[in-house]
Structures are given as structure tokens and as C-alpha cells.
Amino acid sequence: MVNAEKVKSIRAKAHANENMSGCSQAVLAALQEGLSIGDTQSLKAATAFAGGMARRGESCGALVGALMALGLEEGRDRLEDLPKLQSTIPDGYALSEEFMWRLENEYDMKKPLPSTLCRDIQQAIYGRSWNLADPAQRTDFIDSGGHGDAGCLKVCGIAAEVAAEFILKKRGAP
């Protein structure tokens, strides 16, 4: 059984970390601290993934941080280790699917998310998406609650929670 208090703490930490405006780092830092994985180099590597890959609205940075933690936990450390690659990729897919399902449920979405793109998640939550690379649109996104408790902060919390549960289950320990 997974330690629910530990998972709740990791979710809360990721939620709070996102106040520093970096979804991938917010999630990864919470998981690194809560699960004792990674280091400052891995945290640095997550820097440019915020806002859907450098504010491009592409892959959700919160999910990328979660997948980076999964890679730190069970990924390969040698390119030649094909069995490790082949076992980690399906786990990443499963983690991504659970993330999407949790978003749909916690936000009470009326239809399934079409993808894990930042812009698709924005569209599902707010009824529209923004070009976060455009300063005026980024300001509008923030003014519309994008960095509020029900926006990216919540998305980061969900991503960290899903990853923490997944990793702890794989470890077979609380």
C-alpha cells in the first residue's frame, strides 16, 4: 500500500513550487525531495520545459517533470540497455494515461482530453488556450487564473501525485 500522506505531501509541494513559474521543475523538485531521486543537474535539465516546452504550448511541462522522475527512478543509464528502455516506455505511457484521467476527473471535464499538450489542457480547463510566448497573452493567462490554485498549480500537483503513486507502487514500498 502506498503511503498516502507522503503522496499528499509531494502533491502539495509541487502545487506550491509552481508559484515560481516552472511546471516541469515544480513537479520534478517535489518528487526529487519526496522520493530521494535526482540531483541539481536533473533539476537544471527541466528548466526549459515550462509552458509546454519553452512556452510553445506543446507537451505539458508538469507531465514532463513527472516522466523525468520516472526516468530517474527506473530509466536506463547506458544506451545499450535496450531491455530497460523497453520496460520504461510502457510505464511512461501508463503514467501519462493516469495523468490525463486524473485531470479529466478533477476538473470534471465533459469530454476526454485529446492529448497531453499544454494548449489542449488549457482549452479543456478554460475554454481557450494562450500563446505563452507572447507577453500579452501570458499576462492574460495569468490574469485568467493560469497560475492560480485551480490552474497550473493544480495540474502540477496532479502530475506529482500520479508520479509519486506510480513510483512508490513500482518500488513495492510505502
Residue 7 has pLDDT above 90, yes or no: yes
pLDDT in tens, 124-172: 999 999 999 999 999 999 999 998 999 999 999 999 999 999 999 999 9
Mean pLDDT of 46-62: 94
The single residue listed with the C-alpha cell 533539476 is 43
Residue-averaged pLDDT of the chain: 95
> What pLDDT digit, counting tens, does each position of 81-112 carry?
999 999 999 999 999 999 999 999 999 999 99
Residue of 60, 64, 57, 58 lying closest to 43 (CA atoms)? 64
pLDDT of residue 174: 55
**20, pLDDT greater than 80:** no
* CA 58/CA 78 separation, integer angstroms: 28
Give the pLDDT score at 123. Answer: 96
Judged on CB neighbours under 10 Å (0-12, 13-18, 19+), 112 is exposed
Residue 26: give the domain boundaries: 4-171
Mind giving me the DSSP string for the chain? ---HHHHHHHHHHHHHHGGGS-HHHHHHHHHHHHHT---HHHHHHTGGGTTTTTTSS-B-HHHHHHHHHHHHHH--SSTT-HHHHHHHHHHHHHHHHHHHHHHHHHTT-SS--S-SBHHHHHHHHHSS---TTSHHHHHHHHHTTTTSTTTHHHHHHHHHHHHHHHHHHHHT--
Chain-centroid distance, C-alpha 37? 16
Given a cut of 70, whether residue 115 has pLDDT beyond it is yes
- Contact assessment for residue 51 and residue 61, using Cβ atoms and an 8 Å cutoff: yes
Per-residue three-class SS string for 88-111: HHHHHHHHHHHHHHHHHHHCCCCC
The domain tally of the chain equals 1
Write down the pLDDT at residue 19: 78
Section 112-116 average pLDDT: 97
